């Protein structure tokens, strides 16, 4: 019984303190006391970091929004500008974070926080990168920003993470390109011209992406597109197209003698050789 009363009393005290705290915060927001707002915003930012609290970051952000313009050109402006950008970053508002980190870098090009700002700006675009099948403007922007960070800070604290993110994003772009070419292949039966488009797309993919994890698939589907185009051709076009398919088969076997697609590709080659005997 005593413990229950104690718990209830502590709860009431906690609610009252929270109410007072919220009331003081609201008063501070409406006040003109810039110095107190600066101190409170920095404290809320630090507490947000320590507690991983979005609530604290959101409170800090409202204060930062009010006072950042008032400190531009002043000694406190550099630190305040960085904290403002980083609060957006911590809240996952990556569009505003990237914009504010850019402003910080332009305003304070000699800052000790310049590397961190460059990295977090690049990472903001990385976080904005969508699924591979959606427009990849932000992905390309992220790769550009990550490369800029790596060029500017080749011995930086975040080089390993930046390289990993850039590689991941490049693979995403390769997957999009590969899937577009593959879609031409998959729709070739309904429209034979799509087989030709698939061959062109896979040729471009192979020449532009020498280290891609999708290269084996590209070699196979290029062959399969050529094979299907050939066997569905008029007789006067078939022989030449069958021979082209055989050249693509040789390319696949050169790089992947025991590859994933060995069984289906060998079955198709048997038919090609059988048809070529009729010419």
49 and 124, same domain (yes or no): yes
CATH number of the domain that residue 181 is part of:
1.25.40.10
- Domain assignment of residue 226, yes or no: yes
pLDDT at 14 over 50: no
Residue carrying structure tokens 């991983």: 52
Q: What contacts 111, CB < 8 A, 6 or more positions away?
A: 78, 82, 104, 105, 117
List the one residue out of 115, 164, 113, 117 whose CA is nearest residue 143. 164
Domain co-membership, 274 together with 181:
yes
Structure tokens at 151: 């060029």
Residue 45 DSSP symbol: H
Prediction pTM value: 0.84
Specify if 82 maps to a domain.
yes
Mean pLDDT in the chain? 92
The three-state secondary structure class of 246 is helix
pLDDT value for 19: 42
Residue 178 falls inside a structural domain:
yes
- Only one residue has tokens 């532009």, namely 208
Does residue 88 sit within a domain? Answer: yes
122 and 202 share one domain: no
Domain boundary among 113, 128, 143: 128
Domain that holds residue 189: 174-279
Q: pLDDT tens digits, residue range 235-269?
A: 999 999 999 999 999 999 999 999 999 999 999 99
* Total structural domains within the chain: 2
Q: 179 and 122, same structural domain?
A: no
Cα 274 to Cα 256: distance, rounded to the nearest angstrom: 23
Asked whether residue 179 falls in the same domain as residue 259, the answer is: yes
Q: Are residues 270 and 183 in the same domain?
A: yes
Q: For every residue of 145-184, which 3-state class applies, written as one string?
A: HHHHHHHHCCCCCCHHHHHHHHHHHHHHHHHHHHHHHHHH
Joined tokens for residue 198: 């698939």
What are 196's two structure tokens? 């030709």
User: 229 is written with which tokens?
Assistant: 């185009």
- Whether residue 109 is found in the same domain as residue 186: no
Average confidence (pLDDT) over 119-146:
97
Question: Does residue 13 sit within a domain?
Answer: no
* 177 vs 196: CA distance, rounded Å: 16
Domain stop point among 128, 163, 193: 128
Which pLDDT value is given to residue 279?
83
Residue 186: inside a domain, yes or no? yes
- Residue 190 counted as domain residue: yes
pLDDT(2) > 70: no
pLDDT tens, position by position, 155-195: 999 999 999 999 999 999 999 999 999 999 999 988 878 99
Based on the domain organization, do 185 and 119 belong to the same domain? no
Q: Is residue 25 part of a domain?
A: no
Half-sphere exposure of 56 (CA within 13 A, CB side): 14
Closest CA relative to residue 206, chosen from 198, 217, 197, 218: 218
Residue 177's nearest CA partner among 150, 139, 142 is 139
Question: How many other C-beta atoms are found inside a 10 Å radius of the C-beta of residue 5?
Answer: 9
């Amino acid at each position: 019984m005593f413990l229950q009363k104690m718990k209830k009393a502590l709860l009431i005290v906690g609610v009252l303190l929270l109410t007072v705290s919220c009331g003081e915060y609201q008063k501070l927001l409406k006040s003109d006391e810039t110095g107190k707002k600066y101190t409170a915003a920095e404290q809320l930012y630090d507490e947000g970091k320590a507690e991983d609290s979005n609530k604290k970051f959101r409170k800090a952000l409202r204060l930062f929004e009010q006072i950042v313009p008032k400190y531009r050109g002043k000694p406190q402006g550099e630190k305040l500008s960085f904290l403002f950008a980083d609060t957006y970053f911590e809240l996952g508002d990556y569009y505003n974070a990237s914009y504010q980190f850019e402003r910080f870098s332009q305003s304070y090009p000699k800052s000790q926080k310049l590397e961190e700002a460059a990295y977090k700006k690049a990472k903001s675009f990385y976080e904005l990168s969508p699924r591979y099948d959606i427009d990849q403007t932000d992905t390309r922007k992220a790769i550009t920003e990550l490369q800029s960070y790596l060029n500017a800070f080749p011995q930086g604290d975040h080089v390993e993470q930046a390289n990993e993110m850039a590689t991941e994003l490049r693979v995403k772009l390769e997957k999009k390109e590969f899937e577009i070419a593959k879609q031409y292949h998959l729709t070739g039966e309904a429209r034979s011209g799509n087989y030709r488009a698939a061959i062109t797309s896979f040729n471009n993919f192979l020449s532009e992406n020498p280290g891609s994890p999708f290269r084996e698939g590209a070699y196979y589907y290029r062959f399969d597109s050529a094979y299907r185009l050939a066997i569905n051709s008029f007789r006067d076009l078939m022989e030449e197209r069958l021979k082209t398919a055989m050249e693509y088969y040789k390319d696949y076997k050169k790089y992947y003698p025991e590859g994933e697609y060995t069984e289906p590709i060998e079955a198709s080659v048997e038919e090609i050789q059988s048809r070529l005997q009729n010419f």
